[in-house]
Structures are given as structure tokens and as C-alpha cells.
């Protein structure tokens, strides 16, 4: 039976790749962007290339730092060396390189979806799932628009997808058999050990870009323990050790550099990324954790510290329980605004208020605000890099002021909700379909939950921090494109 012409077109992976390429080039040339971290990454990369030092200029002196992991500055430095330009002049070259990496990510996501399909009764349709995942990922604007900005998200998503492929093959043996990577007898006998080292090594590479990447390996250890510990505990412990060793391999040069240059044993970036001589505003951060959950308040409060006056009128009412508490915060902010230098004395005020608010309403600080942060990071229009305000309320006034702005914001919000909903549905289908698929679902869902929980604890709940989870969402969503009849 001949396929409908439209089905033949949609089943063509090359057409999908062309469409994905055009979408990314649209963002690169129509909406090039930068972010607060962009100048820092560019300075680190340029100094690394020119002076051979992972450093930045502080008071006119080139000073070694560990404010960021070295992966993305290293990527930028490589682009600078190839293009002959640095900083803003090299951003187009950086974006085009990220377009290439993101297209590779989409292929890895499609492969991940196809491997998941191999665990299900509809395994014969794994190619259909591959193509569906390819279209979903290539046309997803939420990763594609990060190709147009010098930030870590594109590389982090790529390495997450690659690591997941290795971990899935390790945790679900049926998937490992389908990879057909181990042709020799020795490799076949040691396939699990090879996959463990590979998964750890890829996790280590991902850690060089995002310091929270080891959370993925931690979730895999938990799943492996449940799957194998009771029956093959010695083998399971060996795989855990091999994956840990693999993770340490790419991190070892960074740790050695920190030990020799900064005289500190530091595998990751410090918990607080302050420059030499700066105080860590722990009290201020603790106070924010009692009320701050929306990303827009980060612009109004968090990122103004030591930079701009912080206006008490722009802080939400929920940041204060009583008029007296508001007056104490206002006095501390007034002192900061006069000099734009945050002092220990001012931080002490915020710390005291944070303790009082937490003691008064512990569930607010420990449960309600983290849950609100998680919802705000996941259910958002994701237009931070686009020239739209994101204002939708009051609805009538927003539409009258700028109908295009409102339409794009609402459309992107619904699209994001659509992707999350499809992924949840796909995960449920896998879980109910075959017992063999459940460890894989536990790995994928566990990482999303653990990463989200971790992100609620950091200072600024930026929606971009969940972008490395999108390979999981897209691979799960693609499972819904399998024929229903085969899943019975």
C-alpha cells in the first residue's frame, strides 16, 4: 500500500534536519542575543586563548578564578582560535557552531526515543519513533533559540542526551543489545563495564559545562542499585565504581589546576561565585528564599545587588510579613543604595529577617516557595531571549497594547505546556507498557525530579536551567506516535 505523499515527506529525516536548520538560523540572524553570563564566558575564553590562563582582570591584574566551569570557555576559545575573532565579533561563529551541535543533539534525542521504543510492544515501529522524535526536537524552539546566545545550554543538552544513551543501554540490557557497538568477543563480554566508564566519562564532560551534571549519574546509581543490587551486588558495585572513575577522568585536569593555581581542592565551582574581596550575601540569599519564586523578580532584586539601587516599591508584598519587617529591609536597602556596596552589617539584617520568617512559616520557606519555583521554571513561555515583554495580565489591556507580544507569549506558554504534557503521557505509556521499560522511565523521571529539586535551592530560579532536561521530554513525547494497536 502506497504511503500518502505527506506521510512520505514527514517520514524523511533529511527534510526534518533542513527544517530544524532553518529554524535555528532564523533565531541566529533574527534574534541574536546575549545574557548576564555572556561577557564573563567571553572574557575567560579570550584570556585563556591569549594568555594561557583561566583568569579575568580584577583591578587591572589578570587573576586566576574558578567562577565557572572551564568547558564552555574552552569551547569559545576553540571557536576564537578558528575564526580569528573574540568576544562580540565572534558571536556569529559561536552561534553557527552551536547550531551544528544542536542538530547533533536532535539526532541523539531521536536515537534515545528509538531505544526506548525497543523496550515496548511497538518495537517494530522504532524507526517511526525515531523520525517523530527528530521532528519534535528539531522544531522545538526552546532549545533552538539558545543557539543564538553564548551560554552553556546547547552544549549541556547535547552531553545530557549522549550520557542518557549510554546509561539507558546500561540500565536496560535490551537497549544495549540494540546498539551493536561491541563486535569483538572481548568487548561483548565487557559491554556493561565499557558502558559504565563511557557514561561516567560523558557525565564528567557535562560537568565541565554545568556543575550539576553529576546528578544524572547519581540517579543512575540509584536505579542500578534497585535493578541489580539484590541479584548481582558485586557486579553492580563494580559498575558504580567504574562510572565514578570515568566521571573523574575529564575533571582531573581542572581539579589539578585548582590545586596548583588556587591552592584549593575544588572539582566543581564554589557554591557562591564571588570575586576575591567580595562578601558572600548569605543573609540576603536566605531572605530571598523565603519569598522569591518568579524570574522577573531576579531582575528587580537579585541582579541589582552591588550594581544598581534596589527599590523597596518594586519588591512584592509577599517579601514582608509585617510593616516593621518591611521597614528593617527598607533601611538596609537604603544603606546599600547610597554606596552600591553590600556590607556585612546589611547582610546581618537580611539574615535575621530570613530566620524570623522561616520560624514563623517554615512550610512557606521549605515547601511552598520551592514548589512555586519549580512550577515557574517549568511552566513558562521561555521568551527570555526574545524581544517580548511576557505581560499577559490584565488580558484586555495587554492585547490592546501589543497583540503580537501577547499572542507570542501565550503561544509559547501553551507550546511549553504541550511538550511537558506529552512527555508525562509518554512516560506513563512506557511505565504501563512493559516491565522492562520501568528502570528506563525511573532513570529519566528521577533525573528530571532531582535536577528540579536541586534548582529550587539555588539563588536565581532561571527557566533556562531546566533546558538540559528537554532531551528527556522530547524522547518521552515521541512514544505517543507509535500505533495504538501494537501497544495492546
What pLDDT score was predicted for residue 180?
A: 53
Across the chain, mean pLDDT equals: 90
- Alpha carbon distance 163, 198 (integer Å): 8
The answer on pLDDT for 55 being more than 80 is: yes
The answer on pLDDT for 124 being more than 90 is: no
C-alpha pair distances (Å), 65 with each of 47, 74, 467: 11, 14, 26
The more confident residue out of 134 and 187 is 134
Three cell numbers written together for 380: 513558562
What pLDDT score was predicted for residue 320?
A: 96
The answer on pLDDT for 179 being more than 60 is: no
To the nearest 10°, the Cα dihedral for 23, 25, 28, 29?
Answer: -110
What pLDDT score was predicted for residue 45?
A: 97
Task: For the full predicted model, state whether its pTM sits above 0.85.
Answer: yes
The answer on pLDDT for 193 being more than 90 is: no
What pLDDT score was predicted for residue 337?
A: 96
What pLDDT score was predicted for residue 102?
A: 98
3-class SS of residue 361: coil
pLDDT, one tens digit per residue, over 57-89 is 988 899 999 989 999 999 999 999 999 999 999
**Residue 143 pLDDT grade (very low, low, confident, very high; cuts 50, 70, 90):** very high
Residue spans of the domains in the chain: they are: 105-266+409-487
What pLDDT score was predicted for residue 487?
A: 43
**Residue 229 pLDDT grade (very low, low, confident, very high; cuts 50, 70, 90):** low
- Alpha carbon distance 53, 47 (integer Å): 6
- Alpha carbon distance 41, 150 (integer Å): 8
Which residues, including other chains, have CB under 8 Å from residue 126's CB and lie 6 or more apart? 114, 115, 117, 118
**Residue 330 pLDDT grade (very low, low, confident, very high; cuts 50, 70, 90):** very high
- Alpha carbon distance 281, 459 (integer Å): 10
Amino acid at each position: 500500500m502506497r504511503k500518502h505523499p505527506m506521510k512520505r515527506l514527514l517520514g524523511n529525516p533529511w527534510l526534518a534536519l533542513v527544517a530544524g536548520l532553518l529554524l535555528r538560523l532564523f533565531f541566529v540572524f533574527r534574534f541574536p542575543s546575549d545574557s548576564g553570563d555572556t561577557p564573563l564566558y567571553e572574557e575567560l575564553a579570550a584570556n585563556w586563548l591569549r594568555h594561557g590562563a583561566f583568569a579575568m582582570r580584577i583591578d587591572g591584574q589578570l587573576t586566576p578564578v574558578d567562577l565557572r566551569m572551564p568547558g564552555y570557555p574552552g569551547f569559545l576559545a576553540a571557536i576564537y582560535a578558528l575564526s580569528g575573532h573574540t568576544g562580540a565579533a565572534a558571536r556569529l561563529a559561536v552561534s553557527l557552531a552551536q547550531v551544528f551541535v544542536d542538530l547533533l543533539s536532535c539526532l541523539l534525542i531521536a536515537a534515545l526515543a528509538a531505544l526506548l521504543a525497543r523496550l515496548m510492544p511497538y518495537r517494530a515501529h522504532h524507526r517511526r519513533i525515531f523520525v517523530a522524535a527528530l521532528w519534535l526536537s528539531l522544531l522545538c524552539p526552546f532549545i533552538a533559540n539558545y543557539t543564538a546566545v553564548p551560554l552553556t545550554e546547547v552544549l549541556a543538552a547535547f552531553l545530557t542526551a549522549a550520557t542518557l544513551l549510554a546509561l539507558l543501554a546500561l540500565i536496560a540490557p535490551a537497549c544495549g543489545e540494540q546498539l551493536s557497538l561491541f563486535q569483538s568477543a572481548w568487548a561483548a563480554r565487557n559491554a556493561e563495564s565499557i558502558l559504565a566508564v563511557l557514561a561516567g566519562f560523558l557525565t564528567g564532560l557535562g560537568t565541565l559545562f554545568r556543575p550539576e551534571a553529576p546528578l544524572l549519574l547519581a540517579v543512575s546509581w540509584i536505579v542500578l542499585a534497585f535493578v541489580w543490587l539484590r541479584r548481582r551486588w558485586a557486579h553492580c558495585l563494580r559498575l558504580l565504581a567504574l562510572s565514578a572513575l570515568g566521571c573523574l577522568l575529564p575533571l582531573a585536569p581542572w581539579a589539578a589546576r585548582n590545586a596548583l593555581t588556587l591552592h584549593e581542592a575544588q572539582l566543581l565551582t564554589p557554591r557562591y561565585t564571588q570575586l576575591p574581596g567580595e562578601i558572600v550575601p548569605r543573609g540576603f540569599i536566605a531572605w530571598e528564599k523565603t519569598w522569591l519564586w518568579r524570574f522577573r523578580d531576579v531582575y528587580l532584586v537579585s541582579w541589582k545587588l552591588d550594581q544598581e539601587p534596589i527599590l523597596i516599591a518594586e519588591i512584592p508584598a509577599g517579601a514582608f510579613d509585617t510593616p516593621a519587617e518591611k521597614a528593617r529591609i527598607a533601611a538596609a536597602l537604603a544603606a546599600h543604595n547610597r554606596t552600591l556596596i553590600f556590607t556585612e552589617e546589611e547582610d546581618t539584617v537580611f539574615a535575621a529577617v530570613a530566620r524570623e520568617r522561616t520560624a514563623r512559616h517554615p512550610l512557606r520557606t521549605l515547601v511552598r516557595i520551592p514548589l512555586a519555583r519549580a512550577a515557574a521554571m517549568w511552566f513558562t513561555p521561555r521568551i527570555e531571549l526574545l524581544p517580548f515583554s511576557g505581560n499577559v495580565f490584565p488580558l484586555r489591556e495587554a492585547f490592546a497594547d501589543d497583540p503580537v507580544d501577547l499572542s507570542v507569549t501565550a503561544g509559547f506558554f501553551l507550546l511549553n505546556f504541550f511538550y511537558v504534557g506529552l512527555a508525562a503521557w509518554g512516560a506513563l505509556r512506557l511505565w504501563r507498557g512493559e516491565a522492562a521499560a520501568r528502570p528506563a522511565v525511573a532513570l529519566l523521571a528521577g533525573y528530571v525530579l532531582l535536577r528540579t529539586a536541586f534548582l529550587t535551592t539555588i539563588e536565581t530560579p532561571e527557566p533556562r536551567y531546566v533546558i538540559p532536561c528537554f532531551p528527556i521530554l522530547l524522547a518521552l513525547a515521541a512514544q505517543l506516535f507509535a500505533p495504538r494497536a501494537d501497544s495492546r
